[in-house]
Structure 1
Amino acid sequence: MSSTDPTFLGVVTAVSGASITVRLSESLASGMAIIGGHTYRVGQVGSFVRIPLGYQDLFGVVAEVGATAAPENVRENAPSAARWMRVELAGEAIGSNFERGLSQHPNVDDNVHIVTESDLKRIYGGVDNTQVAVGTLSSAENIVVRLSLNALVTRHSAVLGSTGSGKSTTVASMLRSIVGSGEAAASSASRILLLDIHGEYASALGDLAKVFSATPQPGENPLHVPYWALEAGELLEFIAGGLNDNQLIAFTDKIQELKLQRLTAAPLAGLDTQSLTVDTPVPFSLKQLWYDLIDFETATFTGPQRDQPALQEPGDADTLTPPRYVPHAMGAAGPFINQAAKGIRRQLNLLRSRLLDRRFDFILHPGPWEPDLAGVSEQDLDTLLAGWLGHDKPITILDLSGVPSVVLVRLIGCILRIVYEALFWSREKTEGGVLRPLLVVMEEAHRYVSPEGGNVAADIVKRIAKEGRKYGVGAMVVSQRPSEVDETILSQCGTLVALRLTNPTDRGRVKGALPDNLSGLMDLLPVLRTGEAIIAGEAARLPVRTRIFLPPEEHLPKSADPDVASAWKTRRVAEGYDRVVASWRAQSTIAVARNLEIERHLVSDLAEEQSNNDT
């Protein structure tokens, strides 16, 4: 190809794996080129180049420009050393069919060309049901960037960015693109579960989602997570604190006994007594557990054989009233203490305290899923799953902003375990993960999947990341601190959406999660604009710098910074701090200090017309 071609950049001088060195043409007098009426930046880091090889074109990404990209023996000559580029090859095209990966490499002296708008349309121009549009190219805003939906969901993804980089807006925009809009959204069979730690997304996705909240606002549904669906170890750590082996056995034996009694009284589909374990999700009463154990711990006995209970008042399990026994006495007269007691009074007092604490009602008193003393609950896990995953909206938002921090990680682990276990074992059913996949979006993931976490949430997220692809459960990990996300989880994310990251440790973790030949592209992370991202991985046809679509203003997440300048210039209107304290005490943003009694009258159009006729 002649160097007079306006797209001509230079020639290949060295090839090393997927990395090539390009010497720029002497005919390039400036860093700008006008081709077909469009202006292109020549050799801009992150831009694309094309290398024709017969019927085939290779495409690469510019990773480095200038003297540092020149060979060692050229760098001493400063004028010529500045006219070099390092390019990382990423894909190839035959005709209009573009594929990632390489079937061949260029040779020395092969021509290198600017990628024009027509070339970009060859890469990104395909529109079908397997792709979702997420934004536009930063270098060509008329070219839409599309991601493979299959790879985005099944191969997992991560959205990473510092605070204020547009992370929440990017997630909301991507979910809207996945679901579609208008009639497409209404008829969508998408199934997305969003764990909303800060309560940001109800306003952004409320028209597409069913919202569950531990502190529900008008129009939201109460969030209930049955405690009996937790693994016994996690549940006991929360309700009873630290337990030694003997104390743990006392609790687990009693839980097993109560679950067996429930199963014997009313069989459950798919479960027999021989396969029952202490971790099997069978309803049982925590109140009855507490009452039986506290009765055993505090009992005193009389009689020659010391086997006659010295009971004064029986107490009541339902009201958490302990039984009263005659206090034990010294000497041979009795009453005598229970020598078989396990020494778990402190743990039982904590259990009673948890049951009485209204902050934990969503898990310890889960509405229609709370069993009675016999272990019978009004509803079972099937209705819970139907409420979360079986409604007619494509997105389910679990608003966890009102959940106390002491139970947040366990709650997330419980939710993910319920969902994953259900879809794992029902993979051959129509509502299983294989026939109707699920995307789980995990906001603020670093809070519960840190490398030193070792909690049930981190364990189940690792399991989803490692094997969820085979069972139709995909993960989207969202975090502002990639360095605090477990490396195993991040390495399983096939697609990375990296927004602005200024912390060098965070940037290092993102670079480590990418193939080596793309790490140079991540040097752009500190200078990305708000709402701009570098997308790389299996869902992207090429590593690309993208301007993410901005949702309409009414569908933006509640994550914007307060307008300090405007707020501090506005004249203060005192409304009384009694309203502040009322919301604090009620743990609700809409609580009021005084209920206003307003008498309202119905106004009809007929009455208004009569009034106008009279006048």
Structure 2
Amino acid sequence: MLSRDPTYLGTVASVSGSAVSIHLAQSVASGLSIINGRTYRIGQVGSFVRIPQGYQDLFGVVSQVGAKAAPLPQQSVDDDTGRWMEVQLVGEAIGGTFERGISQYPNIGDGVHLAIESNLRRIYGTAEQGHIVVGTLSSAESIPAKIALDELLTRHSAVLGSTGSGKSTTIASLLRSITSPPVDTEAYPSARVLMLDIHGEYSTALADVAKVFSVDPQAGEEKLLIPYWALEAGDLLAFLTGGVDGPRETAFTDKLFELKIASHKATPFPGVDESSITVDTPIPYSLKQLWHDLIDFEIATFDGPQRDQSTRQDAGDADKLIAPKYKPHAMGAAGPFLNQQAFGIRRQLNLLRSRLLDRRYDFLLHPGSWEPNLGGKTKQDLDALLAGWLGGSKPITILDLSGVPSAVLERLIGSILKIVYESLFWSREKTEGGIERPLLVVMEEAHRYLSTNTESLASETVRKIAKEGRKYGVGAMIISQRPSEVDETILSQCGTFFALRLSNPSDRQRVQGTLPDGLVSLLDVLPVLRTGEAIIMGEAARLPMRCRITLPSQEHRPRSSDPEVTQQWSLQRRAEGYDRVVASWRAQRPRAVVRDAKVKRDKVTDESAED
């Protein structure tokens, strides 16, 4: 049947639940339709169709397209072209208002029309507050792709895509949409975003809207310092001693608790009652003093008939990590005698001392003005640390962890997340807490520390954020190129997904599990998405939409682009210094130098001004 309406596609042939089968009309045999000067392709999977129902319109998404091999003999070509579409009903519009879900089903024989640009504006064009623009629809580039900011944060989100699919650029664009939107859109000057940047990609890209903390800071960046005494005792001891249990662990925790009590007595902390202090209470204490007291007990020797007279010859120096000296013990009954009550933790104490002397861990074990003296007193408290991370003058805080040794990276991330979540959880009644001023935590390369098979502090804390963070104003954004390796509990709590190009079948299967069965076919295009193109679905999107993410300007793009092999290999060979390579390798810092360039600078005076 032919129709004068250029949007006409065909008629409803069958209805089964939300699935509708459509027989295509002969008028759309070409597969192309030109409407109001725009060309539309017919039968694109993921495109929208409109089914008029009087004063309201039903909208559906094309999930499957096919054709019979040949018309049946008893049917004429005019009656059945042999071409059909499968559509999943997703919502309805009455007037200019679109709502998800449907109140009635179409009838057999109802006309089906192509959803043109004006129809798409009814679906995606929202004037409500709290929406940010992240790009444009792939099917209609004049229509902005908007997502709801409230649902993005409170229901958590995940950005998933293979290497080179445009994840880093998507994140940079998304954060800019929140912190520095276009002039004619809503601004969020009190936005609060904390990003864990594993590879140091975003420091330059977001420098104008972010405060950067780095282990190896550049000009304009601040030193990343994390006080060890704010970490949980068990996780800290696992790193410092290689792991202890039983009486050996008790020896460490008892001494640690004793030092925290002494620190509180010397300088009482506001709001803290001595009876409520535990080994995990974030009260400063000296690791040097902890080591010195324990090593003194381990190596002590005694003399005398009762074996109770100390033979100490030198008290040592806790601040310089010099152990006390005792007379060496002797065999037999002559003495001196070993301390029979020693815990046998000398090996663990030696490892603790080596950690304290290792310069690579200074950001954690010697945290500047947060490092306690032997009595447990610090120059600055945790309020200054949190003010830098969460209360800066810029909306984004980037913790550049690219210079952190891999041996401690996973524990460090877990500790950072624990510090931030615990502080916002316990301050939920304060204006600085997460309820009054929510926080979005962006976690790059999440599969490295949120793995399915890892029971780490990071996984435990992010699970808690995913399950309970909504109530306390803490939202998580998980970024990964291998969603199949991310803890399933964490990923299942994400309400919004940005799915970029994914080639691995197991990764695609994990993403497909987030959509209703009828719309799973929309994700069949994941392997062929263009770079920077994403399918956005979930709580923050009114409907699943395929869109092109807005690219930031060249100077605001992350440092994640591929090496330019042809250009670099076409250059003439030049002199190279591999001593610089070795210097960076040994120092575990990409910007380490062999020789510091000391430039003498003289003050320049303007002689003409003096005349």
Cα distance, 1:38 vs. partner? 1.1
Equivalent residue number for residue 613 of structure 1: none
State whether residues 582 and 593 of structure 1, in contact with CA within 8 Å, keep that contact through their aligned partners in structure 2: yes
Output aligned runs, 1:124-523, within 5 Å. 124-181=124-181, 188-523=189-524
The whole-number CA distance in structure 2 between the counterparts of 1:532 and 1:584 is 37
SS at match of 1:9: strand
Secondary structure of 1:350 counterpart: helix
Q: Using the alignment, how far apart are the partners of 1:37 and 1:524 within structure 2?
A: 28
Contact 2:25 2:81 (C-alpha < 8 Å) held by counterparts: no
Give the match for residue 103 of structure 1. Answer: 103
Deviates more, 1:385-394 or 1:224-233: 224-233
Report if aligned partners of 1:69, 1:85 keep a CA contact under 8 Å in 2.
no
Q: Are 1:495 and 1:536, in contact at CA under 8 Å, matched by a contact in 2?
A: yes
* CA–CA separation in structure 1 for the residues paired with 2:329 and 2:68: 86
Moved more, 556-565 or 52-61: 52-61
**Pair 105,374 (structure 1): closer, same or farther in 2 beyond 3 Å:** farther
Q: CA deviation at 1:598?
A: 4.2
| Mapped partners of 2:91, 2:573: distance in 1 | 59
2-side partners of 1:314 and 1:263: how far apart? 25
Using the TM superposition, give the Cα deviation of residue 270 of structure 1 relative to its aligned residue in structure 2, in angstroms.
Answer: 1.6
Q: In structure 2, do the counterparts of structure 1 residues 67 and 341 end up closer, same or farther at CA, with 3 Å as the change threshold?
A: farther
Alignment correspondent of 1:34: 34
Change (3 A) 1:338 1:600: closer
Per-residue CA deviation, residues 471-492 of structure 1 (Å, 9 max, x unaligned), is: 1111110000010011111111
Aligned-partner SS, 2:513: helix
Residues 43, 85 of structure 2: 8 Å contact kept: yes
CA distance in 2, matches of 1:54, 1:604: 83
* Whole-angstrom distance in 1 between the partners of 2:93 and 2:606: 67
Match of 1:61 in 2: 61
TM-score norm. by structure 2 comes to 0.95
Q: 1:315 to 1:603 in 2, by over 3 A?
A: closer
1:124-149, Cα deviation, whole Å (9 max, x unpaired) = 22234311000111111111111011
Aligned partners of 1:82 and 1:334: how far apart in 2?
A: 103
Equivalent position amino acid for 2:313 in 1: Q
Distance 1:394 1:277 in 2: 34
The letter for the 1-side match of 2:258 is E
Q: Which residue of 1 aligns with 2:85?
A: 85
2:551 is equivalent to residue 550 of structure 1: yes
Q: Equivalent residue of 2:26, what SS?
A: coil
Deviation at 1:297, TM superposition (A): 0.7
Tell me the amino acid that sits aligned with residue 375 of structure 1: G
Does the 8 Å contact 1:61/1:543 carry over to 2? no
Counterpart contact for 1:21–1:69, Cα < 8 Å: no
Tell me what 1:535 maps to.
536
TM-superposed CA distance for 1:391, in Å, is 1.0
**C-alpha separation in 2, matches of 1:137 and 1:396:** 30
Do 1:464 and 1:475's aligned partners in 2 also have CA atoms closer than 8 Å?
yes
Which residue identity lines up with residue 357 of structure 1 in the other structure? D
Q: Post-superposition shift, 1:605?
A: 6.4
CA spacing shift, 1:362–1:182, aligned 2, 3 Å: farther
1:63-92 deviation digits (Å, cap 9, x = unpaired): 11114999xxx9xx9x96851112222222
Structure 1 residue identity aligned to 2:13 = T
**After the TM superposition, which of the residue ranges 92-101 and 152-161 deviates more from structure 2?**
92-101
Which one-letter code corresponds to 1:364 in the other structure? L
SS at match of 2:548: strand
Instruction: Tell me the CA shift for residue 512 of structure 1.
Output: 1.5
* Residue 15 of structure 2 corresponds to residue 45 of structure 1: no
- Report the residue type matching 2:542 in the other structure: R
Cα distance change on mapping 1:486 and 1:595 into 2, 3 Å: closer
Unaligned runs of at least 5 residues, structure 1: 611-615
- 1: distance between equivalents of 2:54 and 2:182? 45
**Could you give the per-residue CA deviations for residues 149-193 of structure 1, whole angstroms, max 9, x where no partner exists?**
111111111100000001100010011011124789997110000
Distance 1:317 1:596, change over 3 A: closer
Distance 1:378 1:598, change over 3 A: closer
Separation in 2, partners of 1:479, 1:29: 42
Asked if the contact 2:152–2:539 (Cα under 8 Å) also holds between the matched residues in 1, the reply is yes
Does the 8 Å CA contact 2:172/2:205 hold for their aligned counterparts? yes
Q: What residue is the counterpart of 2:120 in the other structure?
A: 120
Q: Is the 8 A contact 2:303 2:309 kept in 1?
A: yes
What displacement does 1:602 show? Answer: 5.1
CA RMSD of aligned residues (A): 2.3
Kept after mapping to 2: 8 A contact 1:130/1:149: yes
CA contact 2:129–2:186 (8 Å) conserved in 1: no
* 1:507-537 CA distance string (max 9 Å, x none): 1111113332221111000000101111111
Deviations 1:509-568 (A, max 9, x none): 111133322211110000001011111111111111111001000001000001000000
What SS does the corresponding residue of 1:529 show, helix, strand or coil?
Answer: coil
Q: How many residues align?
A: 604
Cα gap change, 1:338 to 1:44, in 2 (>3 Å): same
Any idea what the Cα deviations from partners look like across 1:205-235, whole Å, max 9, x if unmatched?
A: 0100000011111211011111111111111
Q: Secondary structure in 2 aligned to 1:513?
A: coil
